[in-house]
Amino acid sequence: MSVQRVLIGCAGGADTGILLGGLVGLSRPARLLIGPTLQVLRGRALAGMGVVAPARPR
Protein backbone atom coordinates (compact mmCIF):
# COMPACT_ATOMS: atom_id res chain seq x y z
CA MET A 1 0.00 0.00 0.00
CA SER A 2 2.76 2.49 0.87
CA VAL A 3 4.77 1.83 -2.30
CA GLN A 4 1.61 2.27 -4.34
CA ARG A 5 0.99 5.68 -2.76
CA VAL A 6 4.57 6.75 -3.43
CA LEU A 7 4.35 5.73 -7.08
CA ILE A 8 1.00 7.46 -7.57
CA GLY A 9 2.31 10.62 -5.90
CA CYS A 10 5.47 10.59 -7.97
CA ALA A 11 3.53 10.10 -11.20
CA GLY A 12 1.10 12.87 -10.29
CA GLY A 13 3.91 15.25 -9.41
CA ALA A 14 5.77 14.47 -12.62
CA ASP A 15 2.63 14.97 -14.71
CA THR A 16 1.92 18.30 -13.03
CA GLY A 17 5.52 19.46 -13.45
CA ILE A 18 5.63 18.56 -17.13
CA LEU A 19 2.27 20.21 -17.78
CA LEU A 20 3.16 23.45 -15.98
CA GLY A 21 6.66 23.52 -17.46
CA GLY A 22 5.30 23.11 -20.97
CA LEU A 23 2.66 25.74 -20.39
CA VAL A 24 5.18 28.25 -19.03
CA GLY A 25 7.62 27.47 -21.84
CA LEU A 26 5.08 27.92 -24.62
CA SER A 27 2.85 30.73 -23.39
CA ARG A 28 3.99 34.22 -22.41
CA PRO A 29 0.85 34.98 -20.34
CA ALA A 30 1.29 31.70 -18.46
CA ARG A 31 4.95 32.56 -17.86
CA LEU A 32 3.97 35.92 -16.38
CA LEU A 33 1.25 34.40 -14.17
CA ILE A 34 2.75 31.06 -13.11
CA GLY A 35 6.49 31.74 -13.42
CA PRO A 36 6.98 33.64 -10.14
CA THR A 37 5.13 30.95 -8.18
CA LEU A 38 7.30 28.22 -9.68
CA GLN A 39 10.44 30.20 -8.81
CA VAL A 40 9.36 30.44 -5.16
CA LEU A 41 8.59 26.72 -5.00
CA ARG A 42 11.89 25.84 -6.68
CA GLY A 43 13.83 28.05 -4.25
CA ARG A 44 12.12 26.52 -1.21
CA ALA A 45 12.73 23.00 -2.46
CA LEU A 46 16.44 23.65 -3.01
CA ALA A 47 16.76 25.35 0.39
CA GLY A 48 15.00 22.41 2.04
CA MET A 49 17.52 20.01 0.53
CA GLY A 50 20.41 22.19 1.70
CA VAL A 51 21.53 22.95 -1.85
CA VAL A 52 21.18 26.71 -1.40
CA ALA A 53 20.84 28.90 1.66
CA PRO A 54 17.30 30.06 2.43
CA ALA A 55 16.52 33.64 1.45
CA ARG A 56 16.85 36.17 4.23
CA PRO A 57 13.83 38.36 4.93
CA ARG A 58 14.44 42.03 4.13
**Would you mind telling me the total number of residues written for the chain in this entry?**
58
Residue-range definition of the domain harbouring residue 21: 2-42
pLDDT per residue rounded down to tens, the chain (58 residues): 799 999 999 999 899 889 988 998 999 998 898 888 888 888 887 777 777 666 677 7
- pLDDT value at residue 47: 77
Any domain includes 19: yes
- pLDDT value at residue 44: 80
Q: What is the rounded distance in angstroms from the CA atom of residue 58 to the CA atom of residue 40?
A: 16
Q: What is the rounded distance in angstroms from the CA atom of residue 30 to the CA atom of residue 53?
A: 28
Q: What is the full DSSP assignment across 2-56?
A: HHHHHHHHHHHHHHHHHHHHHHHHH-HHHHHHHHHHHHHHHHHHHHHTTSSPPPP
- pLDDT value at residue 15: 93
In the chain, the number of structural domains is 1
Q: Is the pTM of this model over 0.75?
A: no
- pLDDT value at residue 50: 75
Any domain includes 14: yes
Any domain includes 55: no
- pLDDT value at residue 48: 75
Any domain includes 54: no
